[in-house]
């Protein structure tokens, strides 16, 4: 287990450093001593059977869940704790979180805002940037995800795939240092999955640092620079996609790949 | 009816509207505050809000206003009747508005609130830009309905000697032995007040639709 825990010291290119994260809900130990690093531009897919703690791990990274133990560092700044070692207050935590983009399984768009307003909300209200400048950027980001003709619509008028592309545009508009995807295509009709994966593929090619929780194995293999496989709260494989998919080392991973019918 | 009769209607209408208006202004934000305490599941305070609402909701308007006007002086706080009426109606409006806000909060999807948190919005920004616009929109019909009930409960203030619309009508009728004309006039004034509230509701709703907030 130790062999895959932070094998090298952090470098200036280390965007995310997760060290010894544990999290329990009551008697349920969801995460047990999780450690891994991510370099700039890396795309890591978190795989594993449902209930293995993937989503909780993502939520610990941006402190939506506070881990019981361990450190999260974003570009060497510690998440959740100020320099003095005291817990961050609401404002400090918000500032940290605004540097991490998140895309949700069920989109979680703000239904009372138009598509454009959804994308502009955080840059304007959190990053306090100039509204005009943000609007221009938001339009450009929406164009990038192919939604230039939907900007003034409310999210309820969009298809699932379009909603998720708004979700991605909303995350991109904050110019985050890292993007977290929590099963971004699991709530979509099969025929709409492709358009969302397309956008993510484009981001990966563009050098974005991404953590993706997904059940799309083919996509994970094509787009990831690394696969982290989790089971019962542990990381049990952390390797290149070719190694993982072609030569899984653990029985758990073999069983998993078999059960998702990956060939 | 003579000039002074009409004047007493004007006076009655002013106290009806005045008491209701103050209760609305006080009750809407305080009701929201209580509803948020329960929504945020803050241990002791949430329970207190629940108790407050349960007790106040079971007290008739007339009973509450008498309790306040005759009861508080026992504790050395003597009130003029109008202030007692304002307090009593505000207490009631707060409780009922709390339940209206709360039903909107229950229908509110928490996942998008969490998304706002993930996007770095502070508690205040989340409240102001994500939560409030949505629950305000869904609460307007209930809040306006509660306002009309307040107006129609206002005859309760006559039990502590204040003159409201119905009391004015009753007094005039007793003097002229013609009770129906003043009562109809009183009814007409209630209709006008409630119509104005309904108009307010329409305007608020169209404003929200066009602003997209």
Which pLDDT tens digit goes with each residue over A164-214?
999 999 999 999 999 999 999 999 999 999 999 999 999 999 999 999 999
pLDDT of residue A7: 55
Report yes or no: B122 at the A interface, CB cutoff 8 Å. Answer: yes
Strand partners, A16: A38, A74
Which pLDDT tens digit goes with each residue over B155-170?
999 999 999 999 999 9
Backbone angles phi, psi at B104, to 5 degrees: -70, -40
pLDDT of residue A51: 84
All residues at 6 or more sequence positions from B4 whose CB lies less than 8 Å from its CB, including other chains: none
| 3-state SS, residue A29 | strand
Mean pLDDT in residue range A35-60: 94
pLDDT of residue A1: 44
Distance of CA B186 to the CA centre of its chain: 21
Which pLDDT tens digit goes with each residue over A50-92?
888 999 999 999 999 999 999 999 998 999 998 888 999 999 9
C-beta of residue A116 within 8 angstroms of C-beta of residue A152: yes
Distance CA B186, CA B200 (A): 21
All residues at 6 or more sequence positions from A117 whose CB lies less than 8 Å from its CB, including other chains: A110, B212
Which pLDDT tens digit goes with each residue over B34-81?
999 999 888 899 999 999 999 999 999 999 999 999 999 889 888 899
pLDDT of residue A123: 95
Percent of chain A with pLDDT over 90: 89
Distance CA A100, CA A2 (A): 27
DSSP summary character for residue B107: H
Which pLDDT tens digit goes with each residue over B118-129?
999 999 999 999
Cα nearest neighbour of A180 on chain B:
B118
The CATH superfamily of B3-168+180-211 is MetI-like (1.10.3720.10)
Mean pLDDT in residue range A82-105: 92
pLDDT at B188 over 80: yes
Report yes or no: B133 at the A interface, CB cutoff 8 Å. Answer: yes
Residues of A in contact with B121 (CB under 8 A): 94, 121-122, 125-126
- Integer CA distances (angstroms), B2 to A234, B9, B156, in order: 88, 11, 26
Distance CA A74, CA A90 (A): 18
Domain ranges of chain B: 3-168+180-211
Which pLDDT tens digit goes with each residue over B169-187?
999 999 999 999 999 999 9
pLDDT of residue B211: 54
Which pLDDT tens digit goes with each residue over B98-157?
999 999 999 999 999 999 999 999 999 999 999 999 999 999 999 999 999 999 999 999
Model-level ipTM above the cut of 0.95: no
Mean pLDDT in residue range A224-249: 94
The shortest C-alpha distance from B115 to chain A (Å) reads 6
All residues at 6 or more sequence positions from B138 whose CB lies less than 8 Å from its CB, including other chains: B104, B107
C-beta of residue A182 within 8 angstroms of C-beta of residue A102: yes
The CA-CA-CA angle for residues A34, A38, A44, to 5°, reads 85
pLDDT of residue B130: 95
Is the C-alpha dihedral spanning B149, B205, B15, B5 positive or negative?
negative
pLDDT at A223 over 80: yes
Cβ–Cβ below 8 Å for A108 and B137: no
Domain ranges of chain A: 40-65+90-99+178-262, 111-176
The CATH superfamily of A40-65+90-99+178-262 is P-loop containing nucleotide triphosphate hydrolases (3.40.50.300)
């Amino acid at each position: 287990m130790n062999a895959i825990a932070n094998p090298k010291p952090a470098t200036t290119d280390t965007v995310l450093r997760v060290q010894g994260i544990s999290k329990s809900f009551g008697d349920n130990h969801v995460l047990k001593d999780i450690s891994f690093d991510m370099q700039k531009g890396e795309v890591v897919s978190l795989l594993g059977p449902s209930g293995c703690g993937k989503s909780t791990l993502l939520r610990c990274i941006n402190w939506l869940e506070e881990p019981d133990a361990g450190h999260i560092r974003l570009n060497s700044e510690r998440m959740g704790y100020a320099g003095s070692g005291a817990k961050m207050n609401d404002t400090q935590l918000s500032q940290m979180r605004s540097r991490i983009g998140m895309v949700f399984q069920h989109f979680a768009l703000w239904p009372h805002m138009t598509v454009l307003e959804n994308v502009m909300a955080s840059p304007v209200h959190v990053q306090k940037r100039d509204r005009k400048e943000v609007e221009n950027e938001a339009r450009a980001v929406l164009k990038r995800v192919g939604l230039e003709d939907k900007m003034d619509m409310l999210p309820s008028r969009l298809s699932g795939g379009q909603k998720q592309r708004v979700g991605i545009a909303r995350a991109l508009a904050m110019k985050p240092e890292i993007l977290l995807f929590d099963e971004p295509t699991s709530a979509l009709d099969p025929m709409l999955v492709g358009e969302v994966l397309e956008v993510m593929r484009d981001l990966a090619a563009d050098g974005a640092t991404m953590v993706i929780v997904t059940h799309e194995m083919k996509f994970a293999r094509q787009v990831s620079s690394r696969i982290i496989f989790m089971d019962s709260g542990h990381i049990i494989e952390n390797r290149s996609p070719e190694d993982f998919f072609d030569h899984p080392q653990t029985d758990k991973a073999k069983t998993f790949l078999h059960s998702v019918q990956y060939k | 009816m003579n000039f002074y009769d009409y004047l007493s209607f004007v006076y009655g209408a002013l106290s009806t509207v005045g008491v209701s208006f103050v209760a609305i202004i006080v009750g809407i934000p305080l009701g929201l505050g209580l509803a948020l305490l329960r929504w945020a599941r803050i241990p002791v305070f949430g329970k207190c809000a629940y108790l407050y609402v349960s007790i106040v909701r079971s007290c008739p308007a007339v009973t509450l206003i008498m309790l306040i006007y005759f009861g508080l002086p026992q504790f050395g706080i003597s009130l003029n009747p109008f202030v007692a009426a304002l307090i009593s109606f505000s207490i009631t409006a707060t409780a009922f508005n709390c339940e209206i806000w709360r039903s909107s909060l229950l229908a509110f999807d928490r996942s998008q609130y969490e998304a706002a948190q993930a996007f770095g919005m502070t508690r205040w920004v989340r409240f102001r830009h994500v939560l409030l616009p949505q629950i305000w929109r869904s609460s307007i019909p209930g809040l306006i309905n509660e306002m009309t009930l307040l107006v129609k409960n206002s005859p309760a203030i006559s039990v502590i000697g204040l003159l409201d619309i119905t009391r004015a009508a009753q007094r005039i009728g007793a003097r002229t032995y013609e009770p129906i004309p003043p009562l109809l006039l009183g009814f007409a004034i209630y209709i006008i007040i409630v119509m104005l509230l309904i108009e307010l509701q329409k305007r608020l709703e169209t404003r929200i639709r066009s602003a997209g907030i």
